[in-house]
């Protein structure tokens, strides 16, 4: 039976068990990193923020800065720290000139989705598909994008997301609804554009 | 709650009354169309591969966690006391129970011995009063018990003193007693 997050937290804090801490990080790394990748541009920045998040987490858990009260919601607590780190990063980035966007290659989402390829190609295809979706998620309103990333990447419940964002659960659900609807519209628009492109050639 | 918001909860497995929502979907075509559109978008999101940080970053984070744990170890005053391990707690409980039992047995034995000594003390007192030589007590405890049983005034010297006083008084009263036997004739 897998130890719970709180059991691993206790093992790390009370017995200095670094392997327990490693298990915690490895258990949730995809969720936290996926959210950070969606919030900031570039893998290097997400790696930096991932590390910065855990620096804050470790300090708080050791009582050096802030505090962690063991309430059985370790991931929610870590996500609130990751969110603050991402917001700080975004504010700093806004001081600089806008980062130039990559040129749209005109390919449709549905083209990437329906292609059939061997395994090696499939991985590339999935990576491209992901990239395509990320670009469209980036175009969502910030509050819609964040709810979508929190629910989709970190698997927090809508109630936990509402608490994190300090809004009602209906607001969180409404933002998610608009995020999915807008994303669907973008897919359709992209598909139509690709179809038009195909007819022109 | 609005049915359209309930659709979102349903898609993410958080809807409490799924059967009621299913009935609403079968009755309302617009709601069903919206459900299909939302479901398609979610499927596309679900198909994205997971992304994880560089392994070196995870190693670095764990190193920092170890360093932080080691540096905070000496300042134990700031941390809450560790609870004793269960095995030690059990051992201490067993030893404590044993000691408590021994104490009870000891108290019982001591009280029982004290009660059985009391008649000895009482029997010793008349012996002294009768002028007999007191029997040698068996232990120091019984000796102190005998001493407590005899009142302070009831020791041998005091009795002798009282006896002498009685003798003196009797000696003084002897002429009266003699006189009482012989009538005094007055002229």
Domains of chain A: 1-95 (1.10.1740.10), 105-201 (1.10.10.10)
Q: Which two tokens stand for residue B172?
A: 């003084």
CA distance B3 to B10: 10
The answer as to whether B149 is a domain residue is yes
Cα A24 to Cα A19: distance, rounded to the nearest angstrom = 9
> Searching chain B, which residue's CA lies closest to the CA of residue A159?
B14
Query: Is B100 part of a structural domain of the chain?
Result: no
| Domain assignment of residue B60, yes or no | no
In a domain, B123, yes or no: yes
Residue A69 three-state SS: coil
Condensed to tens digits (0 to 9), the pLDDT of residues A152-188 reads 999 899 999 999 999 999 999 999 999 999 999 998 8
**Closest-CA residue to B65 (of A78, A150, A84):** A78
The number of folded domains in chain B is 2
**Complex ipTM above 0.90?**
no
Query: Chain A partners of B12 at a C-beta cutoff of 8 Å?
Result: 151, 158
Contacts 24+ apart (CB under 8 A), B77-86: B78/A63, B79/A63, B82/A14
Taking only the tens place, the pLDDT of each residue in B125-142 is 444 444 444 444 444 444
Q: Which residues of A touch B61 (CB under 8 A)?
A: 25, 50-51, 54-55, 58
| Helix ranges restricted to H, chain A | 5-15, 18-39, 43-61, 74-94, 109-114, 119-138, 142-153, 158-165, 169-200
Model confidence at A93, in pLDDT bands (50, 70, 90)?
A: confident
Asked if A6 and A70 touch (Cβ cutoff 8 Å), the reply is: yes
Helix A18-39 × helix A5-15 angle, to 10°:
120
Q: Closest to B14 (Cβ–Cβ): which among A30, A54, A157? A: A157
Predicted local confidence at residue B167, as pLDDT? 84
In a domain, B86, yes or no: no
Bigger pLDDT: A179 or B114? Answer: A179
> Cβ contacts (< 8 Å) between A181 and chain B: which residues?
34, 37-38, 41
Print the domain residue range for B146. Answer: 117-179
Tell me, yes or no, if A70 comes closer than 8 A to chain B by beta carbon. no
pLDDT at A200: 64
The whole-number average pLDDT for the span A108-120 is 54
B169 domain-assigned: yes
Q: Is residue B8's pLDDT more than 90?
A: yes
Among the residue ranges A165-169, B61-65, B119-123, the one predicted with the least confidence is: B119-123
User: By the 8 A CB rule, do B49 and B18 touch?
Assistant: no
In a domain, B64, yes or no: no
Answer yes or no: is pLDDT of A114 > 60: no
Token digits for B133? 């030589």
Tell me if the pTM is above 0.80: no
Tell whether A150 is within 8 A of chain B (Cβ). Answer: no
Residue that wins the pLDDT comparison between A178 and B162: A178
The pLDDT of residue B87 is 52
Kindly give, in sequence order, each residue whose CB lies less than 8 Å from that of residue A62, ignoring residues fewer than 6 positions away: A13, B68, B69, B72
Give domain status of residue B81, yes or no.
Answer: no
Cβ–Cβ gap B50/A133 under 8 Å: no
| Residue B101 burial (CB count, 10 A) | 10
Res. A28: pLDDT tops 60? yes
DSSP 3-state assignment of B43?
helix
Q: Does B12 touch chain A (CB under 8 A)?
A: yes
Average pLDDT for chain B: 72
Q: Which of A132-146, A174-188, B33-47, B78-92 has the lowest mean pLDDT?
A: B78-92
- Tell me what pLDDT residue B127 has: 41
């Amino acid at each position: 039976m897998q130890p719970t997050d709180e059991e691993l937290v206790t093992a790390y804090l009370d017995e200095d068990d670094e392997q327990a801490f490693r298990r915690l990080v490895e258990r949730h790394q995809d969720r936290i990193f996926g959210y950070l990748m969606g919030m900031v541009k570039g893998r290097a920045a997400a790696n930096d923020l991932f590390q910065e998040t855990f620096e804050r987490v470790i300090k708080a858990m050791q009582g050096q800065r802030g505090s962690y009260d063991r309430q059985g919601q370790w991931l929610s607590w870590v996500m609130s720290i990751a969110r603050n780190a991402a917001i700080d990063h975004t504010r700093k980035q806004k001081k600089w000139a806008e980062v130039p966007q990559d040129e749209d290659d005109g390919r449709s989402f549905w083209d990437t989705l329906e292609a059939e390829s061997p395994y090696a190609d499939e991985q590339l295809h999935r990576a491209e598909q992901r990239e395509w979706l990320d670009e469209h998620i980036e175009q969502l309103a910030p509050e819609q994008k964040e709810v979508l990333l929190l629910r989709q990447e970190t698997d927090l419940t809508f109630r936990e997301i509402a608490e994190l964002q300090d809004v009602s659960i209906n607001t969180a659900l409404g933002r998610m609804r608009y995020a999915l609807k807008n994303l669907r519209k973008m897919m359709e628009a992209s598909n139509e554009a690709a179809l038009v492109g195909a007819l022109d050639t | 709650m609005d049915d359209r918001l309930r659709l979102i909860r349903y898609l993410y497995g958080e809807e409490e009354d799924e059967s009621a929502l299913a009935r609403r979907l079968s009755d309302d075509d617009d709601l069903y169309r919206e459900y299909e559109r939302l479901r398609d978008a979610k499927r596309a999101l679900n198909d994205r591969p997971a992304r994880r940080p560089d392994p070196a970053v995870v190693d670095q984070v764990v190193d920092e966690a170890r360093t932080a744990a080691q540096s905070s170890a000496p300042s134990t005053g700031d941390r809450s006391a560790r609870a004793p391990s269960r095995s030690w707690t059990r051992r201490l409980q067993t030893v404590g129970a044993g000691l408590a039992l021994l104490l009870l047995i000891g108290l019982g034995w001591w009280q029982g011995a004290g009660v059985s000594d009391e008649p000895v003390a009482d029997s010793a007192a008349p012996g002294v009063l009768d002028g007999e030589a007191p029997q040698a007590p068996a232990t120091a405890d019984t000796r102190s018990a005998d001493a407590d049983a005899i009142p302070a005034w009831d020791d041998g010297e005091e009795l002798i003193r009282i006896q002498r006083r009685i003798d003196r008084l009797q000696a003084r009263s002897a002429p009266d007693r003699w006189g009482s036997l012989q009538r005094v004739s007055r002229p």
